[in-house]
Amino acid sequence: MERIYLDHASASPVDPRVLEYAEQYLKLRFGNPSTLHSKGLEAKKALEDARGKITELINAESESSIIFTSGATESNNLAIKGAAMRNIQKGKKVAASTIEHISVLNPIKELQKSGWEFNLIPVDSTGLVDTEKMNAILTEDTTVVSIMYANNEIGTIQPISEISRVVHEKSLYLHVDATAAGGRIPVDVQNDGIDLLTLSSNDMYGPQGAGALYVKPGVKLQPILPGGGQERGLRSGTENIFTIAGMGEAARIAKNEMVEESRRLEKMRDKLIEEILRIEESYLTGHPTQRLPHHASFRFSRIEGESILLNLDMGYNIQVSTGSACTSRTLEPSHVLLAIGLKHEEAHGSMIITLGRSNKIDEIPRIAKGVKETVERLRKLSPL
């Protein structure tokens, strides 16, 4: 049985075109971009080319607004801790939505231990940030507000321009985690009014191990990784040229193909949602229309998500994700599903599908059949 991979939010294959472009930086062009000789200059050029491609993807003011990191987790840490610590004279408050990724929530919790106040911004049952409540929560002494562009578990896309307006009326910094959205939907940092933006390489078919942080000109950050002063002093350490070059190329391809690819995936997503919702007691999680083009997430009553994942993998060679407690390190169900108001027993039965370039519309009947039979089998086992 041929594999149908539907977990691109967890990991994506590197696009062959990206690998073809980037492998020269592993094999031949191995230089250190901080050195002045020809090998160094070669690497420096690759680094700056990649920076240019990221700049174009998100319409940043200039290449110098892009800082390369080791991935989205580091970008989120640098944005939040860096902004909070550097702007401490303004106050010791940080705010974030309840559905942020754990690599946003945990750095804030760490700040809390050092005396920062953490204000949580609620979302509605579709995962949209409540801007009125946000407005009431934010105060002048909040330094940075972190709201994700789109959520990785429920696919909901936030009204970032509207959020930006509220945040900037109070003259605060807006950090946007665009890990799930980057390369998938148009992100325009100037038009959207974003001060700090996180991007991940692998989420747009680049190699794992690279990320970027957009820093709007004038926004002040404290480095969290001091050292040799690379990346404008904000991220020390010799740049990982292979993964960065790959990320740049991945961003270029994503930008070129975004319109066509998202239209293709949206069609597939909608068909998939239609088919899966035919199953009794199945529900879509997240927003019905304001959602990522490749994202379809569900919950099924009376069954548990890890069982769904295992059964689809072993029985049908289909790989999906779940927000079930049994697959998490903490044995707690997804904080995102709880934040949109699901009960624990409802959150346990979740299934997340994230489509990618390899998926074809003619795979849908097999996926729909696999999910339907999986749900039926597990319900037969279930005492509920």
Partner 1 sequence: MTETGYSKKVLEHFMNPKNVGAIENPDGYGKVGNPVCGDLMEMFIKVKDDTITEIKFKTFGCGSAIATSSMVTEMAKGMHVDDALKITRNDVADELDGLPPKKMHCSNLAADALHAAIKDYKAKKTGKK
- For residue 384, state whether it binds partner 1 (rule: CB under 8 A): yes
Catalytic residue among 26, 102, 284, 326: 326
Among 102, 120, 225, 310, binds partner 1 (CB under 8 A): 310
Say which DSSP state 213 is in. E
Residue 179 CB, shortest distance to partner 1, in Å, is 24
The H or E element containing residue 319 is strand 318-319
Give the phi and the psi of residue 332 in degrees, each rounded to 5: -110, 140
Of the pair 36, 384, the CB lying nearest partner 1 is at 384
Residue (of 245, 243, 205) closest to 359 by Cα position: 205
Select from 40-48, 186-194, 260-268, 328-336 the region that touches partner 1 (CB under 8 A): 328-336
* Residue 50 to residue 44: CA distance in whole angstroms: 10
The footprint of partner 1 on residues 339-358 (CB under 8 A) is: 343-345, 348
Among 121, 303, 312, 355, binds partner 1 (CB under 8 A): 303
* Residue 327 to residue 349: CA distance in whole angstroms: 12
Residue (of 352, 370, 111) closest to 224 by Cα position: 111
Select from 58-66, 149-157, 257-265, 299-307 the region that touches partner 1 (CB under 8 A): 299-307
Among 89, 115, 260, 331, binds partner 1 (CB under 8 A): 331
Give the phi and the psi of residue 236 in degrees, each rounded to 5: -75, 160
- For residue 361, state whether it binds partner 1 (rule: CB under 8 A): no
Asked whether the beta carbons of 162 and 33 are under 8 A apart, the reply is no
Report strand pairing: 173-177 vs 196-200: parallel
Residue with tokens 């607004």: 65
Of the pair 243, 324, the CB lying nearest partner 1 is at 324
Residue (of 99, 1, 13, 6) closest to 308 by Cα position: 6
344 is catalytic: no
Among 202, 324, 354, 374, binds partner 1 (CB under 8 A): 324
Among 262, 307, 354, 374, binds partner 1 (CB under 8 A): 307
* Residue 227 to residue 230: CA distance in whole angstroms: 8
Asked whether the beta carbons of 244 and 50 are under 8 A apart, the reply is yes
- For residue 1, state whether it binds partner 1 (rule: CB under 8 A): no
Residue 277 CB, shortest distance to partner 1, in Å, is 22
Select from 116-124, 216-224, 275-283, 327-335 the region that touches partner 1 (CB under 8 A): 327-335
> Which residue type is seen at 88?
I
Q: In this structure, what token pair is assigned to residue 234?
A: 């904000």
Residue 200 CB, shortest distance to partner 1, in Å, is 22
Give the phi and the psi of residue 216 in degrees, each rounded to 5: -60, 140
Among 56, 117, 188, 306, binds partner 1 (CB under 8 A): 306
Of the pair 157, 351, the CB lying nearest partner 1 is at 351
Catalytic residue IDs:
326
The residues of the shown chain that bind partner 1, judged by CB under 8 A, are 302-304, 306-307, 310-311, 313-315, 324-327, 329, 331, 333, 343-345, 348, 380-384
